[in-house]
Chain A
Amino acid sequence: MTTTALPNPSASGAGRPPLPVKMVIAGGFGVGKTTTVASISEIDPLTTEASITEVAAGVDDLTHTPHKTTTTVAMDFGVITLDPTLKLYLFGTPGQDRFGFMWDDLVAGALGGLVIVDTRRLDDCFAAVDYFENKGLPFAVGINVFDGNLDHDLDEVRWALDIPDSVPLVLFDARERGSVRDALLVVLELALQRAEEE
């Protein structure tokens, strides 16, 4: 007589899965997040829908049950299989600023973030910069140089964004795989440096 138990979860037919790690690609609407993911992802970027819970109550409403509404947003992502044991996922944040503080799901456990900036609309990226700073996530600001030209001096951009020198500022072309790769490497090297200092 055999005992009937739940099948052993480790008795998988496919063996041990690769270790998944992720990075977050943030920035305002239309700055090239999806292009960035598409340039380096080995799959066409996929879109999934995720609910985010929005606390609609003001701070003066704490005595009541906070009124929550759920909003569905589309989220683009891609994947790079770095080796058979390691997969890097790239998640693009939903573009809307007002969802900026609802990115916890995306950012939890992320290795780092890349905030993409369009120098014609600098203020679009403030939400992401603030969010990553508050979360302590290692991040770099990437200026997407669509046409190879930069309208502003890098120091001006840094000043305008009010980011400290510890945040790397990189120029990159979201359409070029090598350029995206190098921008991500800047973020990862910052993350490594931070981890080494811990």
Chain B
Amino acid sequence: MSGSDDASGRRGKAVVRALRPYVDPPEEDTPAPGPSSRSASASGPAPGPAGEPVRRSLSVRPFLVTAGRVTDADRLPLETQVITTTAGLNALPALTFEQHDIVAACREPLSLAELAARLHLHLNVVRVLAGDLRSAGHLTVHAPQADAAHDLSVLRRVIDGLRAVPDSRGLTRDNNRPA
């Protein structure tokens, strides 16, 4: 209960910190939480010798958080809407890291692209994690209508909606009067 435990505790901490470079690092004085139970720590050896000062490297390999998985051929479009379910909200306290962030962010519908940008995650990482969270029932994933580009009613709705967007002087396209 001494040297080796400390070393593995430091290693666990190092992995966690290396995974989340954009999170404020814990205080140096904080005791190491012991061997981390995060799944991430089990996915590989620590990135450096134990005891070496942890660099807050930004060059984290993004797919570490998906345990190396990439998306399959059936890729969800960028604009796919993702929404947290009630079950997801209830599970929020138990979720960690990126999964937590995704479920928390999607109380309002967000596209995969927005999610990736807001959470500073690689788009395909978000695709994988959103797929996991959907399988767990924490999210619903609504792929866009595949034939929207050929759907007359959708096109007309987009045109009408865009015409109503006021320009910088508050004028819409249709009537040239303040919207």
Answer whether residue A66 sits at the interface, using C-beta atoms and an 8 A cutoff.
Answer: no
Report the bound CA distance from A106 to B80 in whole Å. 12
Count A-B pairs with CB separation below 8 Å: 172
Contact A21 B107, beta carbon cutoff 8 Å: no
- How distant is A141 from chain B, measured CB to nearest CB, in Å? 19
- How distant is A184 from chain B, measured CB to nearest CB, in Å? 6
Chain B minimum-CB-distance residue to A5: B137
- How distant is A130 from chain B, measured CB to nearest CB, in Å? 19
Indicate whether A51 sits within 8 Å of B155 (C-beta atoms), given known contacts A13-B84, A79-B114, A109-B77: no
Give every chain A residue within 8 A of B164 (Cβ-Cβ).
Answer: 82
Give every chain B residue within 8 A of A188 (Cβ-Cβ).
Answer: 155, 158-159, 162
Point out the residue from A48, A82, A184 that lies within 8 Å of B116, measured CB to CB.
Answer: A48
Give every chain B residue within 8 A of A112 (Cβ-Cβ).
Answer: 149
Contact A46 B117, beta carbon cutoff 8 Å: yes
Contact A49 B113, beta carbon cutoff 8 Å: no
Give every chain B residue within 8 A of A198 (Cβ-Cβ).
Answer: 150
Chain B minimum-CB-distance residue to A179: B167
Contact A181 B122, beta carbon cutoff 8 Å: no
Point out the residue from B86, B123, B135, B144 that lies within 8 Å of A50, measured CB to CB.
Answer: B123
Contact B83 A191, beta carbon cutoff 8 Å: no
* Count of interface residues, chain B, beta-carbon cutoff 8 Å: 57
Chain A 138-183 interface residues, beta-carbon cutoff 8 Å to B: 176-179, 181-182
- How distant is B103 from chain A, measured CB to nearest CB, in Å? 11
Chain B 154-179 interface residues, beta-carbon cutoff 8 Å to A: 154-159, 161-169, 171, 173
> Closest 7 interchain pairs by CB?
A178-B167, A82-B161, A46-B117, A7-B137, A17-B109, A17-B81, A20-B79
Binding site for B on A (CB under 8 A): 6-7, 9-14, 16-22, 40, 43, 46-51, 72, 75, 77, 79-80, 82-83, 86-89, 91, 105-106, 108-112, 176-179, 181-182, 184-185, 188-189, 191-192, 195-196, 198
**Apart from the given pairs A109-B79, A109-B144, A196-B152, 10 other A-B contacts in the complex at a CB distance below 8 Å:** A7-B137, A9-B134, A13-B89, A80-B161, A83-B157, A87-B79, A109-B148, A111-B148, A181-B163, A198-B150
Binding site for A on B (CB under 8 A): 62, 75, 77-81, 83-89, 107-109, 111, 113-114, 116-118, 122-124, 134-137, 140, 142, 144-146, 148-152, 154-159, 161-169, 171, 173
A-B contact pairs, 7 of them (CB 8 A): A12-B83, A12-B85, A82-B157, A82-B162, A109-B77, A181-B173, A189-B159
